[in-house]
């Protein structure tokens, strides 16, 4: 279990520190990380077992979304092909 101080986490991303703090708050609320206080420093600790739960949840929907996206791809490919003009017969 690797832990990082909040500023170390912020330095790894190209976003502002307040934005990182907001993300840390959301991840804490979701149970994906915990915050440990040691003196004046706060450390983020990833709860990797929670990521396994998220992965399992996503996997149960993968077949559904794969089929739906494949159908959309086929529809869009067909729609992109030029329409074949039919010859009209003269009467």
Domains in the chain, CATH or no CATH each: 3-47 (1.10.10.10)
Q: Is the pLDDT of residue 2 over 70?
A: no
pLDDT of residue 69: 97
Q: How far apart are CA 59 and CA 66, in angstroms?
A: 11
| Residues listed for the chain | 91
Q: Is the pLDDT of residue 73 over 80?
A: yes
> pTM of the predicted model, to two decimals?
0.54
Read off the pLDDT of residues 35-60 as tens digits, 9 standing for 90 and up: 988 898 888 888 888 889 889 999 99
Inter-residue long-range contacts of 30-37, CB under 8 Å, 24+ positions, other chains counted: 36/3
- Structure letter (DSSP) for residue 15: S
Instruction: Locate the DSSP E strands across 1-91.
Output: 3-5, 33-38, 41-46
For residue 71 the two structure tokens come to: 């159908």
Read off the pLDDT of residues 23-37 as tens digits, 9 standing for 90 and up: 989 999 999 999 988
* Residues forming beta bridges with residue 41, ordered by sequence position: 38
């Amino acid at each position: 279990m690797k832990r990082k101080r909040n500023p170390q986490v912020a330095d790894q991303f190209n976003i502002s520190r307040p934005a990182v703090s907001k993300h840390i708050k959301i991840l804490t609320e979701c149970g994906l990380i915990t915050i440990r206080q040691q003196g004046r420093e706060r450390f983020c600790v990833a709860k990797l077992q929670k990521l396994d739960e998220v992965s399992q949840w996503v996997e149960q929907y993968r077949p559904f979304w794969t089929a739906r996206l494949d159908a959309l791809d086929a529809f869009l490919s067909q729609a992109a092909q030029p329409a074949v003009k039919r010859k009209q017969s003269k009467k």
